[in-house]
Chain A
Amino acid sequence: MLKIDKDRCTGCKICTKVCPFGAMVIVDEKAEATEACTLCGACVKTCPENAISIERRRVDPSKFKEYKGVWVIAEQIGGQLRNVSLELLSKGRELADQLGEPLCVILLGHEVTGLTDTLAAHGADVIYVSDQKRLAQYTTDAYTDVISALILTEKPNVVLIGATANGRDLGPRIAARLRLGLTADCTGLSIDDKRQLVQTRPAFGGNIMASILSPYTRPQMATVRPNVFKPPEPNPSHKADVRTVDIKVNPAAVRTKILETIKTGAEGELKVEEAEMVVSCGRGIKAPENIPTVAELAKELNAALGGSRPIVDAGWMEHHQQVGQSGRTISPRLYIACGISGAIQHLVGVAGSAEIIIAINSDPEAPIFTISDFGIVGDLFRVVPELVKEIKRVKAQK
């Protein structure tokens, strides 16, 4: 609860101005919090009279001493590591060095031991491997059981999981089992002067950013958005201590059964959440038979192909290609929007974390131009083929 000391409050209104949620009001010349209060604490810090406080739990840091190590849960599919796992290794390395603790990787799967060299080269000091048939495919129960048990016995300080579909299925399950805090879909991670993990993430459609701590529990857990951090340069001479985990999956504890796995998209197709570059098209494409125009640009750039919601709703693209609020949130270095107006529901999926946004739209007033770093007013059917030509020319020169 937010506590306001009415004797101290002078009704100065500063809290009403700093509250990000507009939840502070002045009633009878004293501050009061409305139902919109999320207890974020912005007012507590700025009140000149120290009249506002929040009742919180107390922390006893001494019991955290035995928790050591930064863990990265590696995600592999069919023996192939996902990019985000390597990205987490570079950020994890940085955090581990700052804490003076080892960087550990948790690798689950079947016949995956071959990946340990790659993981070591990318910075892992210790690799815990659980290689068993029942982990060949991801299931919530099996993965939660093994990783939770491992956390309980090994006591890490930090656990990082890629915010992929399965990562976000697994993370909350482990967190709830161990009654831990979990910060979702982080885009920033750092260590503060009290050696705590500061987890930063967008909220309210990217309108605000929140920095979050897990002060009361260990390990500190976060899922991390793909593509935010760069993977490290591999160093083949870096070796890791590979440890076999002897926790056996109990078949009876795995309550879901995967009957079928359906891969959509061509073999090796880049995914919008993972790709460094994404080319998207919207309703400006007019008809499904025109999609190759934009697909060719994507191919030339080695970019993933995405779309706005109307394109997906019309069945011209797959669900996993939709960028935006009801689709995927992406964070590429380069985003090219072709014939997309720039509705807020589309932009929340990209504007917060894409490095550079390019827009091609025939309407000079299209909202996408108010956020694009480089905009071309023009007909996509004429501009995009020229871009393809130009890229080919540049490539030939190189």
Chain B
Amino acid sequence: MRIIVPIKQVPEIAEVKIDPETKTLIRAGVPSIVNPFDEFAVEEAIRIKEKFGGEVIVITMGPPQALDAIRKCLAMGADRALHLCDRPFAGADTWATAYTLAQAIKTLEPYDLIIAGKQAIDGDTAQVGPEIAEVLGIPQITYAIKVDISEDQKRIKVRRETDDGFEIVECKLPALITAIKGLNEPRLPSLMAIMKARQKEVKTITAEELGGDSKQYGLPGSPTQVVEIFTPEARTGGIKIDGTEDPAGAAKQLIEWLLKKGIL
């Protein structure tokens, strides 16, 4: 089986802070990580490969430092990587990202399965996976929490999370699925694996090398345009009362407050 996993390097959101004066994100010192949902995707791909054989190829579009994220996935057990890294790719929205990644994925045909993360935690859009599937013209099953490949490696059966529970959905390969938490427990690479990952092939691809319709790349290829970025009113603590001695009194105060607010 040839399995492709699009991964993204993202800032560790928990450590992103807002500068109270300039109201801008403080990115300095914020570690970059592999998007957590993409780790589930990589892990699943490796498990499928371990069962059926084949190869796992990770692909990312991002700046030079995204190489760190690629190395992490290679250390987990992916076999090789494509890194789309060039100025013309910058500023891409989800359509331009998906289009660009899809062009690169086409060069890897024939593939059997693409596993993306449910969403990237910086933008939280959950759009790139389905958009890649559409550009490639393959079926998709989103929010996978359990994956079964048929013995003949021609079909996939996915337990997918919905708003009301789950669905068991089946389709023919090749297909694209998106991974959510609960699909698996991503492995921590050993020191040996980390060393070995340095030898694995990472192919850097520029816009010119990729070819395709370059008008679709980067900001000029993006149908959406960010016109303003602002920081929301930060929440601050309000009333805080001590209910350790008199829980009933505290409960009364809270309910009165809610009634006054018109919530109850």
Q: Which residues of A contact B (CB under 8 A)?
A: 1, 17-22, 35-42, 54-57, 77, 82, 140-141, 144, 164-166, 168-169, 171-173, 175-177, 179-185, 198, 202-217, 255-265, 271, 273-274, 301, 319-320, 325-327, 329, 333-334, 343-345, 348, 351-352, 356-358, 360, 362, 364, 369-379, 382-383, 386-387, 389-391, 394
**How many Å lie between the Cα of A85 and that of B251 in the bound state?**
36
Query: Which of the residues A19, A264, A374 comes within 8 Å of B164, measured between beta carbons?
Result: A264
B194 interface contact, C-beta 8 A: no
Given the known inter-chain contacts A21-B25, A40-B229, A205-B16, please indicate yes or no for A1 contacting B264, CB distance below 8 A. no
A-side contacts of B36, CB under 8 Å: 325-326
| A182: chain B residues within 8 A (beta carbon) | 94-95, 127, 224
Query: Cβ of A184 and Cβ of B125 under 8 Å apart?
Result: yes
**Is the beta-carbon distance between B225 and A213 smaller than 8 angstroms?**
yes
Q: Which residue of A lies closest to B122 (CB)?
A: A204
Contact between chains at A390 and B13 (CB < 8 Å): no
- Give me 17 other A-B pairs in contact (C-beta within 8 A), A182-B94, A184-B126 excluded: A1-B91, A21-B25, A35-B64, A38-B226, A55-B219, A77-B164, A166-B162, A179-B95, A203-B124, A211-B227, A319-B161, A319-B180, A325-B36, A357-B235, A364-B242, A376-B241, A376-B250
A345-B14, A374-B239 as given contacts; A387 in contact with B131, CB under 8 Å: no
Residue of A nearest to B64 (CB): A35
B-side binding surface: helix, strand, loop or mixed? mixed
Beta-carbon contact of A210 and B238 below 8 Å: no
Q: Does B192 contact A (CB under 8 A)?
A: no
Residues of chain A with a CB closer than 8 A to B244's CB: 362, 377-379
Complex interface: chain B residues within 8 A of A319 (CB): 145, 161, 180-182
30 CB < 8 A contacts A-B: A1-B219, A20-B24, A22-B26, A41-B227, A54-B219, A165-B142, A172-B134, A175-B131, A176-B134, A180-B95, A182-B94, A183-B224, A202-B124, A203-B124, A204-B11, A207-B13, A210-B229, A255-B171, A262-B165, A263-B165, A329-B124, A343-B14, A372-B238, A377-B241, A377-B243, A378-B243, A386-B250, A386-B252, A387-B254, A394-B259
* Chain A residues, Cβ within 8 Å of B26: 22
B27 at the interface (CB under 8 A from A): yes
Is B107 interfacial (CB-CB < 8 Å)? Answer: no
Chain A residue numbers with a CB within 8 Å of B252 are 386, 390
Contact B125 A378 (CB under 8 A): no
Chain B residues lying within 8 Å of A301, measured Cβ to Cβ, are 264
Q: Is the CB of B88 within 8 A of A263?
A: no
Chain B residues near A262: list those with CB within 8 A: 165-168
A375 to B241, Cβ gap below 8 A? Answer: yes
- B49 near A: Cβ within 8 Å? no
List chain A residues, Cβ under 8 A from B187. none
* A325 CA to B261 CA, complexed, in Å: 29
Cβ-neighbour of B235 out of A334, A344, A371 (below 8 A): A371
Chain B residues near A273 (CB-CB < 8 A) = 163
Tell me the bound Cα distance from A213 to B254 in angstroms: 42
Q: State whether the Cβ of B33 lies closer than 8 Å to any Cβ in chain A.
A: no
CB–CB A141/B139 < 8 A: yes
Which chain B residues border A179 with CB–CB below 8 Å? 95, 223
Contact A140–B98 (Cβ < 8 Å): no
**Size range of the chain B interface in the assembly:** 35 or more
Chain B residues 212-264 with CB under 8 Å of chain A are 218-220, 222-232, 235-244, 247-248, 250-252, 254-255, 257-259, 261, 263-264
Given the known interface contacts A166-B163, A261-B165, the answer about A180 and B263 at a Cβ–Cβ threshold of 8 Å is no
Chain B residues, Cβ within 8 Å of A165: 142-143, 161-163
In chain A, what residue has the closest Cβ to B92?
A39
A20-B229, A262-B167 known; A207 and B25 CB under 8 Å?
Answer: yes
Q: Are A22 and B240 in contact (CB under 8 A)?
A: no
- Residues from chain A with a CB closer than 8 A to the CB of B14 are 205, 343-345
Contacting residues, chain A, for B250 (C-beta < 8 A): 376, 378, 383, 386
Q: How far is the CB of A211 from chain B (nearest CB, A)?
A: 4
Q: Are A391 and B255 in contact (CB under 8 A)?
A: yes
Total contacts A to B, CB within 8 angstroms?
325
Contact A256 B171 (CB under 8 A): yes
- A371 B247 Cβ-Cβ under 8 A: no
What does the 1/0 interface line of B94-120 toward A look like (CB < 8 Å)? Answer: 110010000000000000000000000
Q: Across the interface, which residues of B come within 8 angstroms of A274, CB to CB?
A: 163
* B163 A320 Cβ-Cβ under 8 A: yes
Q: Which residues of B contact A172 (CB under 8 A)?
A: 94, 98, 126-131, 134
- Smallest beta-carbon distance B25→chain A, Å: 5
Asked if B201 is an interface residue, CB under 8 A from chain A, the answer is no
B121 at the interface (CB under 8 A from A): yes
Most buried by A among B88, B127, B142: B127
Q: Is B90 on the interface with A (CB-CB < 8 A)?
A: yes
Asked if B229 and A42 make an inter-chain contact with CB atoms under 8 angstroms apart, the answer reads yes
Chain A residues within an 8 Å CB radius of B23? 20
> Measured between alpha carbons, how far is A264 from B164 in the docked complex, in Å?
6
- Distance in Å: Cβ of A342 to nearest Cβ of chain B: 10
Sorted nearest first, the 6 A-B pairs with minimum C-beta distance are: A378-B243, A181-B223, A39-B91, A386-B251, A176-B134, A35-B63
| B166 x A209 contact (CB < 8 A) | no
In the complex, what distance in Å separates the CA atom of A378 from the CA atom of B169? 46
A126 vs B164: C-alpha distance in the bound complex, in angstroms?
Answer: 29
On whether the beta carbons of A184 and B124 are closer than 8 Å, the reply is: yes
A333 to B258 CA separation, bound complex (whole angstroms): 11
Interface residue? B123 (CB, 8 A): yes
- By the criterion CB–CB under 8 Å, are B231 and A207 in contact? yes
Separation in Å of the A18 CB from the closest CB of chain B?
A: 7
Give the chain A neighbours of B124 by CB distance below 8 A. Answer: 184-185, 202-203, 329
